[in-house]
Structure 1
Amino acid sequence: MQTSKITRIAVVALVLLFLVLSVISCSTHVHTHGHHHHAPGKKIPPGQAKKMNGDQSAKAYAPGQQKKR
């Protein structure tokens, strides 16, 4: 009778240990899809600025193509 109590306690302890380890090892990953929003002070790449304004060429938005006045 004594051995069956010890065996039952051992089985319950192992099941609880398994459940605790299962819960602890869980992790979540957040995946974002969609457009990247640019921060207020950050430059937008020339190609993206062209698309936003509906122009045919990104040349006007490229920093190396800006004429000095």
Structure 2
Amino acid sequence: MKSLKIYLVTIVFSLSFVACAAPPRPPKPPKPPRHAAKPMPPGQAKKIYGTKSAKPFAPGQNK
């Protein structure tokens, strides 16, 4: 009789514990980047392409 009570208490406890479980949360969407991608500066483009002047890479600089 004592073991039957222990089994019943165990079953009731486990059922009450399982009933309190929350459903899984949906995944969060990815965060947008903090800063927008900026175009490469003319001087850096000049170094990469190996030219002597940065003028072709700076469209707003007309002299």
Q: TM-score w.r.t. structure 2 length?
A: 0.41
Structure with higher helix content: 1
Under a length normalisation based on structure 1, what TM-score does the superposition of the two structures give?
A: 0.38
Asked which structure has the greater CA Rg, the reply is 2
